Amino acid sequence: MVFKVYYQEDPKNVPVREHTQVIYVEGESEREVRDKIKDFPYNIEYVEAVTGAYYEYEKKNKEDFNVLELG
């Protein structure tokens, strides 16, 4: 399953919506995805599953749609 992770690059600053970035990560659950990216220097705002029509929309319409397959 693919998850969309909303994050801020600097975990020391207060989150500002205009600076939110997104990565897509493959995983079995939200917990697994959070474990995979816990060593990244990110302030994670939100993690959501991307399935069905939503997945197809993201894949088709997002230029930066690249799924990270982390071990």
Reported pTM:
0.86
CATH 3.10.20.730, domain 2-68, yes or no = yes
Structure token digits, residue 47? 């993690």
Residues 6+ apart with CB under 8 A from 16: 8
Domain boundaries along the sequence of the chain: 2-68
Q: d(Cα 47, Cα 5) in Å, to the nearest integer?
A: 5
Interval 7-58: pLDDT, tens: 998 888 888 888 899 999 999 999 999 999 999 999 999 999 999 999 999 9
Instruction: Please choose, from the candidates 1, 9, 17, the residue with its C-alpha nearest in 3D space to the C-alpha of residue 58.
Output: 1
Structure token digits, residue 63? 């230029």
Say what the pLDDT of residue 44 is: 93
Say what the pLDDT of residue 12 is: 82
Instruction: Count the alpha carbons within 13 Å of 67 in the hemisphere toward its beta carbon.
Output: 13
